[in-house]
Amino acid sequence: MADLFDEKSKDWDMNNIVRELSSAIGSSIIKHLPLHSEMDVMDFGAGTGLISSHIVPHVKKITAVDISESMLAELVSKSELKGKVEALCQDIILTPIQKQFDLIMSAMALHHVEHTDKLIQRFSEHLKSGAMIALADLDREDGSFHPIDTKGVFHLGFERNSFKMILEKHGFQEISFITAHTVIKQEIEYPIFLVIATKS
């Protein structure tokens, strides 16, 4: 499988929009979830570890999952993540991880996964009973967020009620949405939701 982020990974962390978005999502997760020092966390679509960097001081361990080797290479080079963040280059839909987590978090990765229903099913399977998800992504948009020729984009954001129904189908409850951030590109506003839910 081609690494679609091979070139982007080198200066990913220098992108102001990416940095501001990651900071806002990380801050929202810290504010709205009961993080604690015994939590075992999966960061899905972890990229270069920007969200993990925010969360790692508050939890026991993070497994950073991504299918981009180049992005994970940037992650493992960060000194602040050594010892507490394990990088795993793996497609969990095809090859599940043989463990369960206290929290699965994700930032702006869901629209890069074709089969949302199957991914949410996998999230449920990878969570302990009573564990939580914190998933951030685009609200439904008109297709202008990404350049037209961007590869690997399967969804133009998500409609919140439809996404809630998928979560409920796979055993999630206490589902709540907040707007974690709004990205502004060329004077167009793109709200970013953070959905929090508990596995029943």
Residues 6+ apart with CB under 8 A from 197: 132, 133, 167, 172, 173, 174, 175, 176
The half-sphere exposure of 44 on its side-chain side, counting CA atoms within 13 A, is 28
CA angle 46, 135, 34 (to 5 degrees): 100
Q: What per-residue confidence (pLDDT) applies to 15? A: 72
pLDDT digits (tens, 9 = 90+) for 136-161: 999 999 999 988 888 889 999 999 99
pLDDT digits (tens, 9 = 90+) for 45-84: 999 999 999 999 999 999 999 999 999 999 999 998 999 9
Write down the mean pLDDT value for the chain. Answer: 92
Domain residue limits, the chain = 8-199
CATH for 8-199 (3.30.70.20, 3.40.50.150, 3.30.750.24, 3.10.180.10): 3.40.50.150
Residue 17 binned pLDDT confidence (cut-offs 50, 70, 90): confident
Q: What per-residue confidence (pLDDT) applies to 150? A: 86
Please give the average per-residue pLDDT across 154-172, as a whole number.
Answer: 97
Residue 186 binned pLDDT confidence (cut-offs 50, 70, 90): confident
